[in-house]
Structure 1
Amino acid sequence: MSTGELTRAALLAGGAAVCAWLLGLLSAWLVELVSRRRYELLLAKLSHSCRRPWRITLLVSAELIVLPHTAIPDPTQAVIRHGLVIALIAACAWLFVKALFVLEDATFRRLPVDVPDNRRMRRARTQIGVLRRLTAVAVILVAAGSILVTFQPLRAFGASLLASAGFLSVVAALAARTTLGHVFAGLQLVFTDALRIDDVVVVENNEWGRIEELRLTYVVVRLWDERRLVLPTTYFTTTPFQNWTRNEARVVASVNLYLDYTMPITPLREEARRIIEASPLWARHEWVLQVVDTTEKTMVIQVLADAADGPSAFDLKCEIREQLIAFLRTHYPQCLPGTRISLPQS
């Protein structure tokens, strides 16, 4: 190439870059203009998050348009075009994935979980989150297949990855692997509605907590003492666990007391009524005190009271237990568990 041809190619490339930059500014201005009338928050987030991949997409597209009009030799043009096509595919995939994240966040804002009955919201948020991750993985696979197609030696493999039959065969071949096993377990949990974000569960060693994250391969449980328990999704498909909020957010608090057979039930029931009705943690639906079992030396008294959610139920249970123990220690210390010894009369 002569110096003039090289200068012309550089000017065309620079002009294309300037045009792409101006088009990016124009599109940002149009989005801002439209957002003043409708969907202000959504469009503002979309513009902010997608700005970089969108500008790269415009830049690469502009360079592809002007490339044939340069005097660059055909072999060199082919190499440059190949690189630009790969960059364009990657930029489009990046743009799509970023847009998915923004749409997920916008949907989550319309599905608040800080309401009394949030079961449907939690179910929707869980399924939307998993669908977004699956779609992002599919976009990345399609982009990878499209890039492979651009290489002659790898064209057959790339085409098979893009074809539905080839795609399914790849997934089926990998399904036996541990990672894909966790993924399928995660899908099973989400779409059978067995587990949702913010569900209250009891898992390993009677540890209870809330589902904080539900990923394709693992689940994060935020325990009552703020520890995080990370479990593989296969744990929930192979091991029995308790889900206290499977049907509703309300949780029943349960307190067991082991008392001597001489303990009168009526005053204990009245004290339990006073404690529960005075507590702001009680959901005001139901409560009960019953003798549910007996042992060789004691009777088992169970107090049940409902609370709005798992943490409230735990605090209510502790409150009932503490105040009933104080009541027994003050008024009926002789009815606390003990051992009787019968001495023969001389």
Structure 2
Amino acid sequence: MTLHDIFIAIGGSLDFLPNWLISLILFALAVALGVLVHRIAFAIVTRIVARMDLFWRSLVSRTHGPTRFAVIIVALGFAASVSPLTSGQAEFLKLVLLIAFIALLGWIAKTALHIWTTVYLRRFKLDADDNLLARKHVTQTRILRRVAELIILLLTIAAVLMSFDGVRQYGVSLLASAGAAGIVAGLALQPVLKNVFAGIQLAVTQPIRIDDALLVEGEWGNVEEITSTYVVLRLWDWRRLILPLSYFIEKPFQNWTREESALIGTVMIYLDYRAPVATIREKVAEIARATPLWDGRVLAVQVTDFRQNTMELRILASARTSPRVFDLRCEVREKLVDFLQREHPESLPVIRAEADTAREPAATRALASAG
């Protein structure tokens, strides 16, 4: 005896009940049986892939919801074929199953897109020192995935609406008025559409990427997230700066990691004219060689300006990432000041009038005060 015969037998044994109640019972039995079969099959498949690669385990876990929904749709369709439904009830159930099938296709497409992007991004590591290529692909993939998800949602809704005869019947009139409606909708949704198109432009041109170090509105931080409408900037003190996507198309900002992660750090120090520049240059080289923060590419000590009481000394040193550059600058400042205080205190800035007065003999100062 087949499953079809079993359902017919169950329906025949319930002849004393109203047809609608018999149909509900058959539908409930079909759904329960479908969920049970899916649970058993999914448990078997999960056990099979338990020792396989992460991709297969993720694939099975991600498809749990869509496969269960698909089994329920098939079970309801099977139950509908043996239920004592009227023509009107059968047409209504057919429409419901069609809408459910369209929603299932959209769900499957969204799940497949997520699995593909996850597998694709597994090749790139954001935690690497030189992660320019990884940031490029991660940013592009995430933005385009959100755009694709929006397109899938719109196509699914459009397919659902087109399953109703009323929508198909008035399609021509809707297209005829699409010009005026499009203008009104465009004006109403201008901020949203502006950010959507800005997101597509950012994905293609990539002025910013995930984990880029930016200086925006006087704040420094890293790009933490790029959504379809806004960008989240994680500031150095863990605050979050939220900016619309259109900001990065219309306004200037600094990107410290646009082409590569390496940066040159600057340390400005103001010293007395008696400071031994050559000795300081040797000490800076010693500090740089002793620290793992320096990448060995750029190191320079130059007198860049003269002030009324001091001279300006600029120290340049490079590192592989912006956080390492910041730490390197701090280390150079601390160790250089400590060296000058111990070895060359005369190099630190002083007020000339006070210094000259301190060197005058006591007798001269006494005569000057007496006069």
Structure 1 and Structure 2 fold alike (TM over 0.5): yes
Q: Which residue of 1 aligns with 2:268?
A: 256
Q: Which residue of 2 aligns with 1:17?
A: 31
Gap runs ≥5 in structure 1 = none
Q: Which residue of 2 aligns with 1:223?
A: 235
CA deviation after TM superposition for structure 1 residue 144, in Å: 0.8
Change in 2 beyond 3 A, CA 1:175/1:131? farther
- The aligned runs of 1:28-107 (5 Å cut-off) are 28=42, 31-32=45-46, 35=49, 40-107=53-120
CA distance in 2, matches of 1:56, 1:281: 54
Gap runs ≥5 in structure 2 = 1-14, 358-363
Change in 2 beyond 3 A, CA 1:322/1:108? same
CA deviation after TM superposition for structure 1 residue 330, in Å: 2.8
Q: Which residue of 2 aligns with 1:287?
A: 299
Change in 2 beyond 3 A, CA 1:174/1:90? farther
CA distance in 2, matches of 1:203, 1:6: 65
- The aligned runs of 1:295-310 (5 Å cut-off) are 295-310=307-322
Q: Confirm or deny: 8 A CA contact 2:293 2:324 kept in the other structure.
A: yes
Q: Which residue of 2 aligns with 1:201?
A: 214
CA deviation after TM superposition for structure 1 residue 37, in Å: 8.6
Once the two structures are overlaid, the 10-residue window that deviates more, 329-338 or 209-218, is 329-338
CA distance in 1, matches of 2:73, 2:33: 11
- Residue type at the aligned position of 1:330: R
CA deviation after TM superposition for structure 1 residue 252, in Å: 1.8
CA deviation after TM superposition for structure 1 residue 124, in Å: 0.6
CA deviation after TM superposition for structure 1 residue 36, in Å: 6.9
State the aligned residue count: 339
Q: Which residue of 2 aligns with 1:123?
A: 136
- The aligned runs of 1:145-184 (5 Å cut-off) are 145-155=158-168, 173=186, 177-184=190-197
Q: Confirm or deny: 8 A CA contact 1:111 1:121 kept in the other structure.
A: yes
Change in 2 beyond 3 A, CA 1:282/1:122? same
Once the two structures are overlaid, the 10-residue window that deviates more, 152-161 or 321-330, is 152-161
CA deviation after TM superposition for structure 1 residue 187, in Å: 2.1
Q: Which residue of 1 aligns with 2:156?
A: 143
Provide TM-score, normalisation by structure 2: 0.79
Q: Which residue of 2 aligns with 1:326?
A: 338
Change in 2 beyond 3 A, CA 1:124/1:300? same
CA distance in 1, matches of 2:156, 2:137: 28
Provide TM-score, normalisation by structure 1: 0.84
Q: Confirm or deny: 8 A CA contact 2:50 2:57 kept in the other structure.
A: no
Q: Which residue of 2 aligns with 1:265?
A: 277
Q: Confirm or deny: 8 A CA contact 2:213 2:221 kept in the other structure.
A: yes
1:13-48 Cα offsets, whole Å, 9 max, x none, are 34543563366357636754874796x312211221
CA distance in 2, matches of 1:106, 1:270: 50
CA deviation after TM superposition for structure 1 residue 216, in Å: 2.0
CA deviation after TM superposition for structure 1 residue 290, in Å: 1.4
CA distance in 1, matches of 2:233, 2:307: 35
